[in-house]
Amino acid sequence: MKKIVGLLILALAVVSCTQEKTAYVDTVMLRDNYSAIQKSSKNFEQQNNQLRSMWQTEISGLQKEIKSFQENSENLSSKEREERRTALLKKQQQFQKKKRFQQSLLMKQMQSAQDSLTKIIKSVIADYAEKHNYTYVFGANETESILYAKESKNITEEVLDVLNSDTTSSSETTTKSEQSAKTPADTVSK
Protein backbone atom coordinates (compact mmCIF):
# COMPACT_ATOMS: atom_id res chain seq x y z
CA MET A 1 0.00 0.00 0.00
CA LYS A 2 2.87 2.39 0.82
CA LYS A 3 4.35 1.63 -2.58
CA ILE A 4 1.09 2.50 -4.33
CA VAL A 5 0.76 5.78 -2.42
CA GLY A 6 4.39 6.54 -3.17
CA LEU A 7 3.87 5.82 -6.85
CA LEU A 8 0.73 7.99 -6.91
CA ILE A 9 2.60 10.88 -5.30
CA LEU A 10 5.47 10.43 -7.75
CA ALA A 11 3.04 10.28 -10.68
CA LEU A 12 1.24 13.40 -9.43
CA ALA A 13 4.56 15.23 -9.09
CA VAL A 14 5.60 14.24 -12.63
CA VAL A 15 2.24 15.32 -14.08
CA SER A 16 2.32 18.67 -12.26
CA CYS A 17 5.87 19.31 -13.48
CA THR A 18 4.97 18.62 -17.09
CA GLN A 19 1.95 20.93 -17.21
CA GLU A 20 2.38 23.38 -19.98
CA LYS A 21 2.16 27.05 -19.17
CA THR A 22 -0.10 29.08 -21.47
CA ALA A 23 -1.06 32.72 -21.86
CA TYR A 24 -2.68 34.99 -24.41
CA VAL A 25 -2.18 38.43 -25.87
CA ASP A 26 -4.99 40.72 -26.99
CA THR A 27 -3.68 41.56 -30.46
CA VAL A 28 -6.20 44.37 -30.96
CA MET A 29 -5.03 46.06 -27.79
CA LEU A 30 -1.40 45.57 -28.87
CA ARG A 31 -2.07 47.14 -32.26
CA ASP A 32 -3.99 50.05 -30.73
CA ASN A 33 -1.45 50.81 -27.99
CA TYR A 34 1.97 50.00 -29.47
CA SER A 35 3.61 53.40 -29.90
CA ALA A 36 5.65 52.39 -32.97
CA ILE A 37 2.46 51.39 -34.79
CA GLN A 38 0.80 54.67 -33.81
CA LYS A 39 3.84 56.60 -35.06
CA SER A 40 3.91 54.68 -38.33
CA SER A 41 0.17 55.21 -38.87
CA LYS A 42 0.53 58.97 -38.32
CA ASN A 43 3.45 59.06 -40.75
CA PHE A 44 1.48 57.32 -43.49
CA GLU A 45 -1.60 59.42 -42.79
CA GLN A 46 0.52 62.55 -43.29
CA GLN A 47 1.93 61.17 -46.54
CA ASN A 48 -1.57 60.31 -47.74
CA ASN A 49 -2.83 63.80 -46.88
CA GLN A 50 0.16 65.31 -48.68
CA LEU A 51 -0.64 63.28 -51.79
CA ARG A 52 -4.33 64.21 -51.69
CA SER A 53 -3.44 67.89 -51.41
CA MET A 54 -1.04 67.60 -54.35
CA TRP A 55 -3.67 65.73 -56.41
CA GLN A 56 -6.30 68.33 -55.58
CA THR A 57 -3.98 71.08 -56.81
CA GLU A 58 -3.37 69.20 -60.05
CA ILE A 59 -7.07 68.49 -60.53
CA SER A 60 -7.89 72.17 -60.01
CA GLY A 61 -5.32 73.18 -62.60
CA LEU A 62 -6.62 70.61 -65.05
CA GLN A 63 -10.22 71.75 -64.49
CA LYS A 64 -9.18 75.35 -65.18
CA GLU A 65 -7.55 74.26 -68.45
CA ILE A 66 -10.68 72.34 -69.46
CA LYS A 67 -12.92 75.30 -68.60
CA SER A 68 -10.67 77.66 -70.56
CA PHE A 69 -10.71 75.27 -73.51
CA GLN A 70 -14.52 75.03 -73.43
CA GLU A 71 -14.89 78.80 -73.26
CA ASN A 72 -12.42 79.45 -76.09
CA SER A 73 -12.97 76.41 -78.31
CA GLU A 74 -15.24 78.40 -80.62
CA ASN A 75 -12.30 80.65 -81.53
CA LEU A 76 -10.12 77.68 -82.56
CA SER A 77 -10.05 75.90 -85.85
CA SER A 78 -11.35 72.34 -85.84
CA LYS A 79 -7.77 71.02 -86.11
CA GLU A 80 -6.59 73.16 -83.15
CA ARG A 81 -9.69 72.21 -81.17
CA GLU A 82 -9.02 68.49 -81.75
CA GLU A 83 -5.31 68.85 -80.89
CA ARG A 84 -6.18 70.74 -77.70
CA ARG A 85 -8.85 68.16 -76.74
CA THR A 86 -6.36 65.33 -77.32
CA ALA A 87 -3.70 67.10 -75.26
CA LEU A 88 -6.16 67.63 -72.37
CA LEU A 89 -7.26 64.00 -72.52
CA LYS A 90 -3.62 62.91 -72.48
CA LYS A 91 -2.97 65.12 -69.41
CA GLN A 92 -5.95 63.54 -67.61
CA GLN A 93 -4.69 60.04 -68.41
CA GLN A 94 -1.16 60.88 -67.25
CA PHE A 95 -2.54 62.29 -64.02
CA GLN A 96 -4.61 59.15 -63.38
CA LYS A 97 -1.62 56.93 -64.13
CA LYS A 98 0.64 58.92 -61.77
CA LYS A 99 -2.04 58.89 -59.06
CA ARG A 100 -2.45 55.08 -59.29
CA PHE A 101 1.34 54.63 -59.17
CA GLN A 102 1.70 56.86 -56.10
CA GLN A 103 -1.20 55.12 -54.32
CA SER A 104 0.34 51.74 -55.08
CA LEU A 105 3.75 52.85 -53.83
CA LEU A 106 2.27 54.18 -50.59
CA MET A 107 0.37 50.93 -50.04
CA LYS A 108 3.57 48.91 -50.57
CA GLN A 109 5.44 51.10 -48.08
CA MET A 110 2.64 50.76 -45.54
CA GLN A 111 2.63 46.98 -45.94
CA SER A 112 6.41 46.83 -45.55
CA ALA A 113 6.29 48.91 -42.35
CA GLN A 114 3.44 46.78 -41.02
CA ASP A 115 5.39 43.59 -41.78
CA SER A 116 8.44 44.97 -39.95
CA LEU A 117 6.37 45.88 -36.90
CA THR A 118 4.67 42.47 -36.92
CA LYS A 119 8.09 40.80 -36.88
CA ILE A 120 9.12 42.94 -33.91
CA ILE A 121 5.93 42.08 -32.02
CA LYS A 122 6.31 38.36 -32.69
CA SER A 123 9.94 38.48 -31.61
CA VAL A 124 9.12 40.30 -28.36
CA ILE A 125 6.31 37.85 -27.59
CA ALA A 126 8.61 34.89 -28.29
CA ASP A 127 11.35 36.34 -26.07
CA TYR A 128 8.83 37.08 -23.32
CA ALA A 129 7.40 33.55 -23.55
CA GLU A 130 10.86 31.99 -23.36
CA LYS A 131 11.88 34.17 -20.44
CA HIS A 132 8.69 33.31 -18.50
CA ASN A 133 8.57 29.62 -19.51
CA TYR A 134 5.36 29.76 -21.54
CA THR A 135 4.81 26.83 -23.86
CA TYR A 136 2.04 28.59 -25.78
CA VAL A 137 1.00 32.21 -26.18
CA PHE A 138 -2.26 32.61 -28.05
CA GLY A 139 -3.54 35.69 -29.81
CA ALA A 140 -7.01 37.01 -29.03
CA ASN A 141 -8.51 39.22 -31.72
CA GLU A 142 -11.73 40.28 -33.48
CA THR A 143 -12.18 36.81 -34.99
CA GLU A 144 -12.50 35.43 -31.49
CA SER A 145 -9.81 32.79 -31.75
CA ILE A 146 -10.00 32.53 -27.96
CA LEU A 147 -13.55 32.22 -26.72
CA TYR A 148 -12.67 32.20 -23.04
CA ALA A 149 -9.56 32.68 -20.97
CA LYS A 150 -8.90 33.67 -17.40
CA GLU A 151 -7.79 37.26 -17.14
CA SER A 152 -4.76 36.03 -15.18
CA LYS A 153 -3.54 34.43 -18.44
CA ASN A 154 -3.60 37.79 -20.25
CA ILE A 155 -0.02 39.05 -20.70
CA THR A 156 -0.91 41.87 -23.11
CA GLU A 157 0.05 44.67 -20.70
CA GLU A 158 3.41 43.08 -19.94
CA VAL A 159 4.19 42.62 -23.65
CA LEU A 160 3.08 46.19 -24.38
CA ASP A 161 5.37 47.46 -21.64
CA VAL A 162 8.29 45.61 -23.22
CA LEU A 163 7.39 46.81 -26.72
CA ASN A 164 6.91 50.43 -25.71
CA SER A 165 10.02 50.48 -23.53
CA ASP A 166 11.93 49.14 -26.50
CA THR A 167 10.35 51.76 -28.78
CA THR A 168 13.58 53.59 -29.47
CA SER A 169 15.26 50.65 -31.17
CA SER A 170 12.13 49.33 -32.89
CA SER A 171 10.91 52.75 -34.05
CA GLU A 172 14.40 53.50 -35.37
CA THR A 173 14.14 50.32 -37.44
CA THR A 174 10.71 51.32 -38.71
CA THR A 175 11.72 54.92 -39.32
CA LYS A 176 14.80 53.84 -41.26
CA SER A 177 12.73 51.55 -43.48
CA GLU A 178 10.16 54.30 -43.97
CA GLN A 179 12.82 56.89 -44.76
CA SER A 180 14.83 54.66 -47.08
CA ALA A 181 11.87 54.29 -49.39
CA LYS A 182 10.94 57.28 -51.48
CA THR A 183 7.62 58.77 -50.53
CA PRO A 184 5.00 58.67 -53.28
CA ALA A 185 4.97 62.47 -53.40
CA ASP A 186 8.72 62.38 -54.14
CA THR A 187 8.12 60.21 -57.19
CA VAL A 188 6.25 62.86 -59.12
CA SER A 189 6.94 62.27 -62.77
CA LYS A 190 6.04 65.27 -64.82
Q: What is the pLDDT of residues 125-176, one digit of tens each?
A: 999 999 999 888 988 887 767 656 677 787 888 888 998 987 555 445 444 4
Give the pLDDT of residue 151: 76
Confidence of residue 189 (pLDDT cuts 50, 70, 90): very low
What pTM was estimated for this model as a whole? Answer: 0.69
DSSP string of 70-100, one letter each residue? HHHGGGS-HHHHHHHHHHHHHHHHHHHHHHH
Q: Which of 6-15, 84-93, 112-121 has the lowest mean pLDDT?
A: 6-15
Percent of the chain with pLDDT over 70: 75
The per-residue b/e assignment along 86-112, b for 16 or more CB within 10 angstroms, e otherwise, is eebeeeeeeeeebbeebeebbeebbee
Give the pLDDT of residue 142: 78
CA atoms of 155 and 153, how far apart (whole Å): 6
